[in-house]
A and B are shown apart, each in its own frame.
Chain A
Amino acid sequence: MSEDIQQDLDLLALAAGDDSLSLEKKAELEAAIAKSEALAARYAATQAVVEFVDQLPIQEPSLQFAARLERRLDAIDARAKRPWWTRWQSWPEAAPRWAAAAAVAAAGAGAVFVWPSPEREPVPAVVAQVELLEDLELWRDFDVIEQLDVLEDLEVIEELEGQEPG
Chain B
Amino acid sequence: MPSVIDDDAALMATFVQTRDRQVFAVLFQRYERKMINHARRFVRDPARAEELAQDVFVRVYTTKRYEPNTKFSTWLYRVATNLCLNELRRPEHQQQLSSLDAVRADDRPIEMVSPAADPEAQAHGRQMAERLQNAMDRLPAKQRAAFLMARQDHMSHEEIAAALETSVSAVKSLIHRALEGLRREAMVAITDSGNYAQEAS
Contact = CB atoms under 8 A, between A and B. Distances in A.
Contacts of B28: 66, 69
A8 B101 CA distance: 38
A51 B111 CA distance: 10
B155 interface: no
Nearest to B178: A49
B148 A59 contact: no
A57 B106 contact: yes
Contact of B179 (A49, A54, A69): A49
A14 B176 CA distance: 12
A14 B151 contact: yes
A61 B49 CA distance: 10
B189 interface: yes
A30 interface: no
A73 B61 CA distance: 8
A50 B172 CA distance: 17
Interface residues of B, number: 39
Nearest to A65: B50
Contacts of B24: 73
Contacts of A60: 33, 36
Interface stretch (B5-13, B75-83, B87-95, B180-188): B180-188
A48 B112 CA distance: 8
Contacts of A69: 28, 54, 57-58
A13 to B, nearest CB: 9
A45 B112 contact: no
A60 B32 CA distance: 9
Interface in B81-129: 106-108, 110-112, 128-129
Interface in A4-58: 10, 14, 41-42, 44-46, 48-58
A62 interface: yes
Interface of A: 10, 14, 41-42, 44-46, 48-62, 65-66, 68-69, 72-73, 76
18 contacts: A41-B190, A42-B183, A45-B183, A46-B183, A49-B183, A53-B147, A54-B152, A55-B111, A56-B148, A59-B37, A61-B33, A61-B53, A65-B53, A65-B54, A72-B54, A73-B24, A73-B61, A76-B61
Which 10 A-B pairs have CB atoms at the shortest separation, nearest pair first? A45-B186, A48-B186, A45-B187, A52-B132, A49-B182, A45-B183, A55-B110, A53-B151, A59-B36, A69-B54
